[in-house]
Chains A and B, each alone.
Chain A
Amino acid sequence: MDEKDRILLQLLEENCRTPISELAVLAEVSEQDVRDRIGRLEATGAIRRYGAVIDWERAGNGNVAAVIELKVSPERDFGYDRIAERISRFPQVRSLRLMTGAYDLQLLVTGPSMHEIARFVAEQIAPMDRIRETATHIIMKTYKENGTTFAEREGVERLPYSF
């Protein structure tokens, strides 16, 4: 990855609907070069997919989300990878990370209600082999997601002219 790739990735992360022609001007490369670079970044998996950052609450579809901490006994030869792979297959699991510190795996889980999430954890996750302990934390409010602040701030008035 070079400087131009980095610029393109940042622009796409900010708005993946930016036209190729505009990306080319911004990054100071040709349109064909933009296409080639994006193609390469898609092929290597650096670009995983294109999506939108959605404030679901504002959209009127208030899914419940929870952070779930798991203490897991690692497996000989595989560590945490196989159990993580099993957990990641559940569509309810939006993110899954191995952490340092007091617990091992951290899940972000979404569901239509608190009850549904509790049931998912109790019936699907907790009984799995090697899971020693679970802790479920319901998300009460999201202030910032993937670099985007949800609350609206008043802009500050600036002078129309200065030297």
Chain B
Amino acid sequence: MRDFVSARARAIPPSGIRRFFDIAQTMEDVISLGVGEPDFVTPWCVCEASIYSIEQGSTAYTSNKGTPQLRGAISRYLDAGFGTRYSPEDEIIVTCGVSEAADIAIRAVTDPGDEILVAEPCYVSYTPCVSLAGGVPVTVPCRAEDEFRLTPDALAERITPKTKALIANFPNNPTGGVMQEADWRGIADILVDHDLLLISDEVYGELTYDGSHFSPAKLPELFERTITLNGFSKAFAMTGWRIGYLCAPAEITAAALKIHQYVALCAPVMGQIAAYEALRNGEAEKDAMVREYRLRRNLFVDGLNKLGLACHLPKGAFYAFPSVESTGMTDVEFAETLLREQHVAVVPGSVLGPSGAGHVRCAYAVSRDNLKEALSRMGTFLESLK
């Protein structure tokens, strides 16, 4: 029998944390700082609206691009919250999470051989999605000394005549780094000069603690060349509902919609109804969760620094990204030994990009009691190394 697996599928590297998964599975009392999702249950008003709609028999396909109610609500939400204007008619597609939105955005713009820049460290899907689309992923480092922002110099260095687009995620998973308006202006000049497109994943936008989130599509010179991705998972604690969205000028949206309708048809209707309710009535609970994340960040980052694990104060998302260099271990060794000896799960930074080496990602979206317990176990672990 011949080998049926495609060369493209074969070329995707295996998950960098599969091994950790297997170790954690054998333990009873793991405190997981390894999972990129809120520990909150979705606000009850959102669950209740969706349950009611199911009882009413709302279980069918929706329009490919999502229900008009939800698209309208997303359009108003983006305008009011971030000052970006997208028409609900032809500039917004509701997707199965931001993961799908990223995939169809990349496929809508990538031709074979196109180089797509990926600001790293970052969420793991961008690079394989570029490869699957036939593009060539090229990483751009965001460094600790710049508080993990993307700098014009780092960007300019990686641009070639084949470069077509940049993928960036701010507030950033895994570093918690954010980009303010001035930071984006520097990047915008380069994108315009080289006629590049921006794919901006802003799923952590609501989780911005000092100042407010700046959406790059707000810059007029970027709007026409930006695909904005966002979703409900992180802000409204709705990871399992799988609702994200893609916003872009009409021509790009139409291209992405063709892919979306063939791979997903539409996002699940229950999730769309839930998302609509989240925008209508979920704001107060969202704000309360964001306030709680900020308290957790303060507690956890203070604790890390007291333990001697140098950590900048992340201004967004719900990740702390401390350096483990003081231990003399690599990030992979640190994460594996910490899991084996103290049953605390963190993600080694190097699996999230070369600039993540020497750091570990700790998701502080767990209760303050669990964060204190994790810090105490990490303290015991660090003592044992001396």
Contacts and interface: CB of A to CB of B under 8 A. Distances in A.
Interface stretch (B18-26, B129-137, B326-334): B18-26
B20, B25, B32, most chain A CB atoms within 10 A: B32
25 contacts: A7-B291, A7-B295, A11-B295, A22-B299, A26-B295, A27-B295, A27-B298, A28-B298, A158-B35, A158-B39, A159-B35, A160-B20, A160-B21, A160-B35, A161-B17, A161-B20, A161-B21, A161-B347, A162-B35, A162-B36, A162-B37, A163-B123, A163-B124, A163-B173, A163-B347
Nearest to B363: A162
A25 B298 contact: yes
Interface residues of B, number: 25
Contacts of A11: 295
Contacts of B347: 161, 163
A47 to B, nearest CB: 19
Contacts, number: 49
A25 B296 CA distance: 10
A156 interface: yes
A7 B39 CA distance: 21
Interface in B289-305: 291, 295, 298-299, 302
B236 to A, nearest CB: 17
Contacts of B24: 160-161
A161 B173 contact: no
B127 to A, nearest CB: 12
A25 B302 contact: yes
B298 A160 contact: no
B352 interface: yes
Contacts of B352: 163
A78 B345 CA distance: 64
Nearest to B292: A10
B190 to A, nearest CB: 28
A26, A28, A163, most chain B CB atoms within 10 A: A163
A31 B32 CA distance: 30
